[in-house]
Amino acid sequence: MNDSLIQDLAARLREAEQTRSPMAPIRDELIAGSEEQAYAIQMANVEHALQQGRRIVGRKVGLTSVVVQKQLGVSQPDFGTLFADMVFGDDEEIQLDRTLQPKVEAEVALVLGQDLLREDTTLIELINAVSYVLPAIEIVGSRIANWDIRFVDTVADNASSGLVVVGGAPMPLQGLDLKLVEMSMTKNGEVVSEGNGAACLGHPLNAALWLARKLAQLGQPLRAGDLVLTGALGPMVPVSPGDSFEATISGVGRVRTRFATV
């Protein structure tokens, strides 16, 4: 790989965020469809964030919903890194300038109680590792202008990560079939997104298992205490100043977020 190109594109993504000026897509500057280059750019910015004192608290799986994949013109999952300063609690007010071109989507979050170190992690091992489940609203954002992204663009851009809001009432996984959960999300009291657990790679645990195996292959395994966002259960919705969103996931709970007016 061209390391100078990787570092240059990583720096340009950081500058886009810092200046709040979205940049042009980067896909034409990479080897066509190069997942390896795209993740190298993401990892360069993860390393930069760590050097700045930020702390990794988990990972997200993106592009798990067929509806979202169609919206963005992609056809496979990806992952991004979650930092402590990205995580908000239920009903906290969020400043719009914390993200670029924000959109929201509702999903199931898992919190792990055990490390998942193996590349061949099984579903049973994953289930045993889950401490509890939370409802979550992910606030995705893109450093790429007009959300004009393809797979490598979003991968390089930390899977279009922005912020995450998690509910405050943990639920045990035991007895909860995440495939069957129903999600409904309102915007200012009006339903704007609906879906179910099956929309997330057939089952949210399938998404988490893909992530566990992928990260183990990369030598960056999921660890006890990690927050895992398993992926959208329905279409993502754009955000305007003053908007409030509430997501209800049957059996899992409710979570609400609101955005400042300015």
Neighbours of 2 (CB within 10 A): 13
Q: Strands, E, within the chain: which ranges?
A: 56-62, 78-83, 87-89, 93-94, 103-112, 130-140, 163-166, 182-187, 190-196, 227-232, 237-238, 244-249, 253-259
Number of helical (H) and strand (E) elements in the chain, helices listed first: 6, 13
**pLDDT value, residue 124:** 97
**pLDDT value, residue 72:** 61
pLDDT tens-place string over residues 18-37: 999 999 999 999 987 788 99
Q: Which residue has the tokens 């754009």?
A: 238
The total number of structural domains in the chain stands at 1
Segment 216-240 shows an average pLDDT of 96
The answer to whether the beta carbons of residues 237 and 103 sit under 8 Å apart is yes
Q: What proportion of the chain, given as a percentage, has pLDDT over 70?
A: 97
Give Cα 109 to chain centroid, integer Å. Answer: 10
Domain range holding 129? 3-259
Neighbours of 22 (CB within 10 A): 19
Confidence band for 66, pLDDT divided at 50, 70 and 90 = confident
Confidence band for 262, pLDDT divided at 50, 70 and 90 = confident
pLDDT tens-place string over residues 79-133: 999 999 999 999 999 999 999 999 999 999 999 999 999 999 999 999 999 999 9
Rg of the chain taking only CA atoms, in angstroms:
17
pTM metric for this prediction: 0.94
pLDDT tens-place string over residues 175-209: 999 999 999 999 999 999 999 999 999 999 999 99
CATH number of the domain residue 232 falls in: 3.90.850.10
Asked whether residue 136 carries a pLDDT value surpassing 80, the answer given is yes
